[in-house]
Amino acid sequence: MEFQYRHEWKHEISYADMLALRQRLRAVMDLDPHAASGSYRIRSLYFDNLRDKALREKIDGVNLREKFRIRLYNNDPSVIHLEKKSKRGGLGTKFSAPLSAEEARKITEGDLDWMMDSGRDLVRELYCKMRYQGLRPKTIVDYTREPFIYRPGNVRVTLDYDIRTGLSCRDFLNPDCVTVPAGGAPILLEVKWDAFLPDIIRDAVQTPGRRAEAFSKYAQCRIYD
């Protein structure tokens, strides 16, 4: 099966950087239509095994790696996705499958037998890795995202902030699950594109003194473990 890897840049930025970037991006990019009010809240439940394979591979800079998560937006259980993110160097791709709220609840509670008959390849893959590799729900990651799109190059730029961790809470569908700031809870600029990054966007996302670096919200939210 062929799939498209996308280029990714990540920068930790300051609050002042974010204010300046927000104005520049609004001038040259469109707001993602899913962000009706300019932003939305994301909640993800990440999976890892007992040896913290996904976390260790991220920290160690392993070139080929993957991680699974379940994600919803604005605490709305009507749209939930199971996602697998795969990385190869500075390139990334994502696979996605829909889940019902009941299916998400069953996964978090370890009720897995239905997954092989789900009719969704990604759900079956997660089942096999939960059964035979010991993947388990590990931590909740919450944050606010401001997303911008630019159709030439299929560019997506996001400003992510107020990153919070659920600590030991894995009750993904509970809007009252207590979360706390993830360490310094940095503000993050992410830039993703396909074959080329247009100059107008390359110029707009420049932040003096900042450089692209590896950053993982999941790893940031594991700092208290």
Cα–Cα distances in Å, from 136 out to 12, 13, 21, 157? Answer: 29, 32, 37, 31
Separation CA 124–CA 154 (nearest Å): 30
Position with higher pLDDT, 209 vs 124: 124
Interval 87-111 mean pLDDT: 92
pLDDT band at 1 (very low <50, low <70, confident <90, very high): very low
As a whole number, the mean pLDDT across the chain is 91
What pLDDT, in 10s, does the model give residues 167-206?
777 889 998 888 999 988 789 999 999 989 999 999 999 9
Q: Which candidate, 168, 160, 158, 163, places its Cα nearest to that of 183?
A: 163
pLDDT given for residue 3 in this prediction: 60
Architecture of domain 6-220: Alpha-Beta Barrel (3.20)
Task: Check pLDDT > 80 for residue 100.
Answer: yes
Tokens of 213: 């670096």
Interval 9-35 mean pLDDT: 93
**Residue written as tokens 């450089």?**
211
Quick count: other Cβ atoms within 10 Å of Cβ 135? Answer: 21
What pLDDT, in 10s, does the model give residues 79-92?
999 999 998 877 88
Interval 109-136 mean pLDDT: 96
Cα–Cα distances in Å, from 87 out to 34, 133, 158? Answer: 25, 19, 18
Q: pTM value?
A: 0.92
pLDDT band at 140 (very low <50, low <70, confident <90, very high): very high
pLDDT band at 154 (very low <50, low <70, confident <90, very high): very high
